[in-house]
Amino acid sequence: MVNPLLLNRNSIDAPSSICGKCHLTATGRSYKNAIAQPKQREPLIKFIGQVELRNHRRVYYQNDSYRVEQINPTREQVTYSYDIPDKAVDYLYNQLNGCIVTPEEASTVLKPVAKNLNLPFTCGHKLDYYAQEVLVVLVALGKASLSKEGRRYFYTIA
Give per-residue pLDDT as tens, 4-46: 444 444 444 444 444 444 444 444 444 444 455 555 565 689 9
* Range scoring the smallest mean pLDDT among 67-76, 84-93, 130-139: 67-76
Q: For residue 102, what pLDDT is reported?
A: 97
- pLDDT digit string, tens, across residues 101-150: 999 999 999 999 999 999 999 999 999 999 999 999 999 999 999 999 99
To the nearest 10 degrees (0 to 180), the angle between helices 125-141 and 103-110 is 100
Give the containing element (helix H, strand E) for 74. none
Q: How far apart are CA 119 and CA 116, in angstroms?
A: 8
Q: Which residues contact 141 (CB under 8 A, 6 or more apart)?
A: 48, 49, 59, 89
Pair 115, 122: CB distance under 8 Å: yes
The predicted pLDDT at position 31 comes to: 47
Neighbours of 130 (CB within 10 A): 24
- Give me the amino acid identity at 154: F
For the chain, the straight-line distance linking the first and the last C-alpha, in angstroms and rounded, comes to 71
63 CB-contact burial (10 Å; exposed 0-12 / middle 13-18 / buried 19+): exposed
CA–CA gap between residue 32 and residue 35 (Å, rounded)? 6
